[in-house]
Structure 1
Amino acid sequence: MPSSERANLPRWKGQPGNFEIWFLVVLDPGGARAWWLRYTLFTPAPGAPGAPRATVWAAAFDSEASTPALALKSLHPLSDFDAGTPERFGIRIGDSELAPGRCRGRVASGGHAIDWDLRFTPESAPAVRRAPRGIDLLPLTTHVAHAHDDITFTGTVTVDGHRYDVQGAPGLQKHLWGHRRLEELTWLYVPRFREDPDARLEALSVLPKRGPVSPRLTPIYLRTARQQHAFHEVPGLLFTRMEVPRAGELLFHATSATVSMKGRAWCDPRTLVGYVYRDPMGWDVHVAQSDVATCEVELSTRAHPLAAWRPEGRLTSTVGALEFHAPEPLEGVRYIAWDGTHLTGPEETSLRAVEGT
């Protein structure tokens, strides 16, 4: 079995107090549209409120439309989840499925609907790593597998009856599982840059639990046509930082002995969709996401640690995704409730946000 399939195999064995997530990001090459798809399992911890469930989520982004972001979800009993077989990865929740090289599904609620039927390549690419070596040996509360990192999608997505033909759309697919949600997380993903078609960027800042003994980690991975910059590894990981100055904007910086990188990513706040995610113990995390974000990166280099920095060049994204997690809601973003399936309220006709992770 290819390593990407092994990375995707379900970890849930029927125990309470767990969550499991498979999600895909599909970025239209033109940059104006994107789609986000998510298949999840949830079981509350013993004594926590709520019932086990399976959920299918979908979000559609179109920065040029009058409604630039729409997100929906469907709630299912856990019995609607089919884990497939141990010999071959393939999961199903109701009529929605994810298998090697393909995914399809439908979510409809509140008078809106998102359907998808997509294939992606390569099917047997190895899973990749974007975190420090050995981190999986630690007793983590949340685990992540980058099952498919640099893939392209082909197929169709239909939003409220309008069919979009997807051709050569870059994206990724990840698998997450655990027994406690991360309290704070900021994520940036950029698989295409205008100046360097081979460049890829993924930046993450995570605080597992607020408090004096919980360190914040900010792994940043950048690959260009000339070099791979492993700021997600020690010692580079020790010299990274990230901040969110305002809703929908992200600043980040990373430095090694001979390379310095600083960047900015941002999105139109109207393209943020909001979701409420539930921890198995019963508390919530608010997640705001835009998959039509923009990013700029400036690189500087020097011959040795005592030499002066010299500009190396600038990278400008053609597509990108931004995500913000915190216990508090992001100002100006409306969120789909944990037990909701679409955005409700008097502002529904001007959807700016919807849904949760």
Structure 2
Amino acid sequence: MRGTVFTETMLGTVRLDGEPEERRVRLDLRADADRVLLPHRTTPARLTGRVRIAGHADDPRAEGELQVSPIARRRIRYRLAFTADGRRLTLDGWKSVTPRHPLASMTVLPFTVYEGQARVGEGVLRFPLATGLLPFLLGFRFPRREDPARHSAPRWNGAPGRTEVWYTTLTDPASGTGVWLHHELTAPADGSEPFAHGWAAVFPREGEVRHARFGPVPWTRPADGFTAEDVTCSGGRLTGSAGDLRWKLTEQPQGQPLFTFPRWAWRHPVLPAAQMLPSARATYEGEISYGGTTMDLRGAPGASARIYGHGNAHRWAWLHADLGSGDVLEVVAAVSTRPALRRLPPLVFLRLRRNGRTWPRRPERPAIGGPGPGRFRAAIGLPEWTVTGRTALRRIRVEVNQPPERTLTLEYRDPDGSRAVCRNSESADARIVLERWWGHWRPEATWTLDGTAHAETGTR
């Protein structure tokens, strides 16, 4: 089954109640529908993007819904929630499609702004035909749709010497606190009984990082997801307790799966390990409590990911960065534990999903190189580490900083009993610079994450 993804920019003005003059408005939107958009039927889609009102609002995390029904209902309706000066507002309007004036009716959007149920402004947006039509048409994509839930089932087939992980990281938008929930199945290499274990950790903006472990307990072979006594990760629900940490969350996927490693490496476990995200990004609702503090999560951005393989790498680095407007960056850089490969530089797997497209197009491209530019490179260290690389027309630089006071050090064991140590921060800093070649390198996009990047390094 295929869906539809497209981007749209509209410009206009709005007059807010109590203000004598109009303000300029710009919307940069991305629409994501679960089926192919056809004009004779009504097609709902999710909206994400950026709302800018001159001197009043600049919200890169606006979200809402779009209803496209140009023939059946003769309208295209937009509802978009955004934040302006600390107030939560909703833009609501529709294009009234008429065969008498097809061009004007498809490009003009009258709208009203609401705060709750109260009207607080109104305006008009227009699609800029001269500059926007060609990018709009070229931006249409019809990606294959997959149900993220199908990737939550256990992969383990009973073979010894395997580990399987379900992990979730998120950031509370209200407090800036980062959260890490790690669920792991370990099948020891000596053939003894498999067991389930894991941990939960919170990374407050101010104060000490807190964590607690759960398990180990015998693996009960659930049909879906992960279960270890009162800890569950299944069907879009995450519940459990560890020490004084308690959590009860629901997950709402916001995108299609993202395969950090090649898709074949996940389907056929021939590599030492592989990682993927059932949904490139997600939002979380629910409650987390620890040490007398309770966080009430509403629309917390984050993601869940899966790992399956023989254990941890010899050295590794990982980054998940929610870049806003539906964009996300996932990086894994690792050195294999196999003796012949330990002296090689880290292999880099980097996936940037931006405006509905994933770059580089093939996931193995950063790791093995290609014609012209070679492999992507990683310099793994602490508190800072970097990844750089380029393809024919683009290059990227990723700089990550894991401040010691916001980094948690944990030790755990591989299926063969060998020791591994990870240093994780769910409140790391990151700067990502993307450039494009136009006769010389020009900046294409820059993102700065202040305490909202999710990052980790690991060693033996």
* TM more than 0.5: yes
Of 315, 320, 323, which residue of structure 1 is paired with 2:456? 323
Q: Unaligned regions of 5+ residues in structure 1, if any?
A: 328-357
- The residue number in structure 2 matching 1:243 is 379
CA contact (8 A) 2:261 2:276 kept: no
> 1:56 is matched with which residue?
198
Q: Which moved more, 1:69-78 or 1:221-230?
A: 221-230
CA distance in 2, matches of 1:274, 1:36: 13
Cα displacement (A) at 1:3: 4.0
Match of 1:293 in 2: 428
**Secondary structure class of the residue paired with 1:77:** strand
Aligned residues: 306
Per the normalisation by structure 2, the TM-score is: 0.61
Partner-residue secondary structure (3-state), 1:60: strand
Distance 1:144 1:226 in 2: 20
Q: Does the 8 Å contact 2:349/2:364 carry over to 1?
A: no
| Secondary structure of the corresponding residue to residue 348 of structure 2 | coil
* Alpha-carbon distance change, 14 to 233 in structure 1, aligned in 2, over 3 angstroms: closer
Alignment deviations for residues 133-186 of structure 1 (CA, whole Å, 9 cap, x no partner)? 543446223233422321100101001121111111111112222234322210
Q: Distance in 1 between matches of 2:167 and 2:354?
A: 26
Once residues 234 and 43 of structure 1 are traced to their aligned partners in structure 2, the CA distance between those partners, rounded to angstroms, is 28
> Residue 127 of structure 1: which of 242, 257, 264 is its match?
257
Give the number of the structure whose residues are more often strand, by fraction.
2
| CA positional deviation for 1:63 | 2.3
Residues 267 and 294 in structure 1, CA contact (< 8 A), matched pair in contact too: yes
Larger radius of gyration: 2
Are the aligned partners of 2:225 and 2:233 in contact in 1 as well (CA < 8 Å)? yes
The equivalent residue for 1:310 is 442
**Cα pair 1:127 1:145 within 8 Å, conserved:** yes
Counterpart mapping for 1:104-119 below 5 A: 104-108=239-243, 113-119=244-250
Cα displacement (A) at 1:270: 1.0
Q: Show the counterpart of 1:76.
A: 216
| Structure 1 Cα separation of the partners of residues 314 and 154 of structure 2 | 23
**Which of the residues 224, 228, 238 maps onto 1:103?**
238
What TM-score, normalized by structure 1, do the two folds share? Answer: 0.77
Unaligned stretches of 5+ residues in structure 2: 1-145, 370-374
Percent identical pairs in the alignment equals: 23
Aligned-residue RMSD, C-alpha: 2.6
Partner of 2:45 in structure 1? none
286-295 or 171-180, larger mean C-alpha shift: 171-180
Q: In the aligned structure 1, how far is the partner of 2:356 from the partner of 2:226?
A: 38
Q: Does the aligned pair in 1 maintain the 2:178–2:202 contact within 8 Å? A: yes
Aligned counterpart, 1:348: none
1:258-311: CA deviation from partner (whole Å, max 9, x where unpaired): 1121121112211111111211222111111000011112222123xxx22223
Q: 1:16 to 1:213 in 2, by over 3 A?
A: closer
Q: Is the CA contact 1:32–1:63 (under 8 Å) kept in the aligned structure 2? A: yes
Q: Secondary structure at the match of 1:290?
A: strand
Of the candidates 179, 186, 192, which is equivalent to residue 42 of structure 1?
186
Q: CA deviation at 1:38?
A: 1.5
